[in-house]
Structure 1
């Protein structure tokens, strides 16, 4: 029996599936966000322990990488917007577009709030050992205040949006069997 060869995955998105760049951005961000939320969840439940420090000690570095990936993903999404798989029509399609827009917006605001806080802080911002922002003397209170108010709270909102995203993918896979998961994770249907 001859084996069916699949065509190579394109770099860009098509109307049938997401391309290699979108997949790399999506899954690398998913892994890094999982790391961030695991660390923060452990911090809330266990307090400050060596295990928690293992995860939270990289929070600033991982967050910085995430911000760069998020910016790249937004730019890539805009550049590919006419070539991506459709979210569908009707109320469900509108809900899917609104959910994705909310997720993108929160993914941008959460690290931006942390960067605003870092810029206004009395501490040097050097996530990889080289200084990005100097320490502010005195601290710029409104920047730190906005960062403190938004970063953590909207981070948990982001987790809720991500959970909703995962649940909806599960519904598409289990109930509607419309190939939604395959468009980002595997071969296209048909």
Structure 2
């Protein structure tokens, strides 16, 4: 039977490849982790695209369109929810995820990932708290989450006023560094780090 299969495949047998599953494994991330990762990437990219477009060109047809696709507050709320789901999924898969690289590089990557999660939680959470503290309406694509109220609660407003801008640019810098390191792993170090998140099968 093996001989017949080899003849049907042109005389060569294809290497064994394991299809990607929903759960993570020690060799790669599963469908859920990948979906959440790339959804986060899209939301962060859209967030900064809208912000930079407004700062660079001001109000025009393009920036108004971008803002309608990705309202700043709505994207922030989505990032908060997606990050909470990612943390929960990471906890569920904690014993079977791909291990961190050994050595100082692996420890640095671990610290960077923790910082990513902290920023993705802190930035939208405290921005929403500031909006609530100022008495503003909390909306998600036009849907009212919390109504406006007459208030001015300084402890809700101060943290975001002080740190939202600087930490947003820190997140932007980490994203650029993350992309650069992924490309270095792929094309210079030629290891399987990027393959854990982008390739559909083990080779």
What TM-score, normalized to structure 1?
Answer: 0.91
1:16–1:188: 8 Å Cα contact kept in structure 2? no
How many residues end up aligned between the 2 structures? 190
Q: Which runs of 5+ in 1 are unaligned?
A: none
Secondary structure at 1:126 match in 2? strand
The corresponding residue for 2:78 is 65
Is residue 41 of structure 2 the alignment partner of residue 30 of structure 1? Answer: yes
Greater relative contact order (Cα < 8 A, sep 6+): 2
Greater mean alpha carbon deviation, residues 37-46 or residues 130-139: 130-139
Q: Distance in 2 between matches of 1:60 and 1:31?
A: 15
**Bigger radius of gyration among the two:** 2
The corresponding residue for 1:8 is 19
1:116 to 129, 137, 141: 129
Greater mean alpha carbon deviation, residues 13-22 or residues 41-50: 41-50
Task: Report deviation, 1:80.
Answer: 1.4
Greater mean alpha carbon deviation, residues 141-150 or residues 98-107: 141-150
Q: Distance in 1 between matches of 2:164 and 2:17?
A: 43
Task: Report deviation, 1:104.
Answer: 1.1
The corresponding residue for 1:42 is 53
Is residue 154 of structure 2 the alignment partner of residue 162 of structure 1? Answer: no
Greater mean alpha carbon deviation, residues 67-76 or residues 117-126: 117-126
Task: Report deviation, 1:48.
Answer: 2.5
Task: Report deviation, 1:94.
Answer: 0.8
Secondary structure at 1:82 match in 2? coil
Q: Which runs of 5+ in 2 are unaligned?
A: 1-9
1:123–1:136: 8 Å Cα contact kept in structure 2? yes
Greater mean alpha carbon deviation, residues 138-147 or residues 103-112: 138-147
Secondary structure at 2:194 match in 1? helix
Superposed, which structure 2 residues align to 1:140-159 within 5 Å? 140-159=153-172
Task: Report deviation, 1:157.
Answer: 0.9
Q: Distance in 1 between matches of 2:81 and 2:125?
A: 11
The corresponding residue for 1:134 is 147
Deviations 1:114-165 (A, max 9, x none): 1111221222112233322222312223312322323232111111111111
The corresponding residue for 1:76 is 89
Is residue 59 of structure 2 the alignment partner of residue 51 of structure 1? Answer: no
Greater mean alpha carbon deviation, residues 31-40 or residues 134-143: 134-143
Task: Report deviation, 1:4.
Answer: 5.3
Q: Distance in 2 between matches of 1:88 and 1:175?
A: 16
The corresponding residue for 2:101 is 88
